[in-house]
Structure 1
Amino acid sequence: MPGTQNTACRGQGDFTADLATMNKLIIFMVLIAGIGMGWLLRGAVVSVPVVISQAPSLHENSHEAVSATDGVVDSPVIISSSHLNMNPLDEINRSATQPLVPLEALLSTGRDAEAIEWYVSFERENGDIDSARHLINQQVNRREQRNELSSAARLLSLFIEQLPHGFDERIALASIYQRQGQFYPALNVLFKTMPVASTTVELTQLDQLILKTVKAADKDIPSDDIGAKIKLYQFLIQHRASDTQYYIELAKWQVKGTHLDAAIGQLNIVQYDPFVGDVAQQMLAEIERLRLKLLETPLALVRRGSHFIVDATLNHNDIRLLIDTGASLTVLDSAAAQLLGLHESDILQRMQMNTANGVTEALLYRIDSMALGVFAVSSIDIAVVEHLEVNGASGLLGMNFLEHFEFRIDQSDAQLFLKYRD
């Protein structure tokens, strides 16, 4: 039936049109829903509570208030989504250094004690200690470059307490002290570093630094400040007694300060040392001579009326002489001269001499040595005359011997006091 067929076709066409319209409506609704969801998600990102992990403030009482609900900060803070656009390599680097941010903040604000406490905690948590150590040393270097030496030394001192094997840090601290002219602290650090040095290279480096610092410390002390010089080498011996050269240097300054007994004590310790023993023994002999120069030594006399007789030694022979300060030469009786083994071939000169018995011929000789006790004179001239009568003595002690010394006679106690001239 044509009418019926046309009606059916029209109904089918209307259904198809309705279906197409519905599909468009669904697509439109999905689009609207997508846009709405996008806005919702955007709002969610903005409104998510923001937790900002802040580094410690530069000032203890200064804090910025952060809202836990709206992310508003009192001072302008820009929060970017850089993590969304970050290069993968940048993300790795950021993850590696991020744990050290608190340490860097503490160091940069000079809160050294807190920084070291943070380091200790970080070490307990098995953190990246090498990176943290590098960061601390880097901060020390920055302070040195800014000539903030005291600040750099303070940080290193705190750090070293937590580094039982920190060789490089200890060397750096000693270097800073030396730059400041603080030689005792520098040497203290270097001596305490000895147990830390674990290789031959480190031990050699340490020895060189100690030697350099000792020279600088000695040079810094004025040469006329003998007390300070003595104090320096006493300090060095106290901390490194194995270095025998310190004993020699200490003894030298003690001698200059006339502390002879103290110098002898130091030299006795090292007089058989294979390195400085010969020097020590030479110094001991010199000190003994110096002691005689400084000390006035009494010699016993025998009274003969108004004169005094003293025991002398001439060429290792004991001879008694009468002290005669008016005689320019020491004079011997011919019999005493024979004891010395003097021969006619040894005569230097024949001369006339005034004696108590009048003018007489005298023979002039030169003998190897003459001494009163420990006071000796080498290569000294004497005159020899026949039958010299001098109150039981074998000759006269003249001024050519006594002029080498400061002397005085204590007549009441019958003593001759001698002292080497300065």
Structure 2
Amino acid sequence: MAFACVISFMGIGLVDPILPSLSGQLDASHAEVELLFTSYLVVTAIAMLVTGWVSSRIGPKKTLITGLVLIVAFAALAGASSGIWGIVGFRAGWGLGNALFIATSLAVIVGSASGGFAGAIVLYETALGLGIAAGPLVGGLLGTVSWRGPFFGVSVLMLIALVATVVLLEPTPPSPHKAKLSEPITALRHRALATTGGVGLLYNWGFFTMLGYAPFLMGDLDPIALGGVFFGWGLLVAIFAVFGAPWLKERFGTARTLYGALIGIAVLLAAIGLFDTTPAVVIVAVILSGIVVGLNNTLVTTAVMSISPVPRPTASATYGFVRFIGGGLAPFVAGLLAGAFGASLPFLIAAVVALAGAVLLSTIHRDLEAADAEAAQPGPSHERADAEQAAGEVPGLPTESVIAEDALEHDRR
């Protein structure tokens, strides 16, 4: 499942190295090219609201297969398109498949992991980091042949993931609990979840402003060079998501680490905004942002799952919906603002938005500290109990007793 996640997450940064090429070869404005992110992420966000409803009726494995089939088909169709609007439309279909796959794969990984919920999140974020790192590199290599190459490349790779899922994943019949379509929306009534989702939205606004528009500010780099820049960025995302986030969380706590990460990305966004005509500054800032992006990806996701007073599949869908809305709109707005007022403005606005995320986070500081304290307690914790429950609800995955034994042994080690 983690292997399939790596390939899926490659799709996020895959188009970065070919954005300038697409703009030139297809005679598209920067704002139009940014719609490749917007259509993909906004559809992903909206589709997150129905993933639990679908999965509870046809089962996790069939949901994963459906998502993978959609990605394979729409990635290939995007590669075969003749104009920017065709690619934008097919990226939307790609986003639908991505939502079905991402939300369900997280639940399956959580249910399968013997080390408890926190370890499952690290595994999931490792796959995310590796996928984000590899995506631009693959996109850059294939983009030197043609702008169509990255789209066909993802289609082939996801076909491999599809075959692996069909063959290797145990059958998973539908859950006896049928999720309601309204659950992810009604979950926003809970202050902790709504606040954390808002932090994710503000953070993703800054993150995707950088990811979507920074390639246009890096001079005349070819697709391979652009892919190399974002590969370095992605490696830092993976390293700090897997190793940095747990270490800093244990040393300083979730809240303080996130304050530092949000302030850090705000500083880097401001640097790009102030030195937007200096490619070297933009390149260094983008690569260094991998540090704070990795920290945010792991700790915000963990925070959502730890303090949300709703079942974790519902919390995941709600959080995904809110944060991807911010990520989807930010690149398009950046393109419009840059075209009208210059490239500095969208990055300076994104820096302020990221700082606003830190301020909003402070309103749930006590909730985060309480969740950290509970996670540090020996014996059965809320996180492990939830992991066991998730496994028990997904047939074909380890039983509750097996996971409980493994989790306790993990604690003893």
TM class by shorter chain equals under 0.3
Q: Under a length normalisation based on structure 2, what TM-score does the superposition of the two structures give?
A: 0.20
* Structure ranking higher in helix proportion: 2
* Structure ranking higher in strand proportion: 1
- The higher radius of gyration belongs to 1
Q: Under a length normalisation based on structure 1, what TM-score does the superposition of the two structures give?
A: 0.20
Which of the pair has the greater relative contact order for Cα pairs under 8 Å at 6+ separation?
2
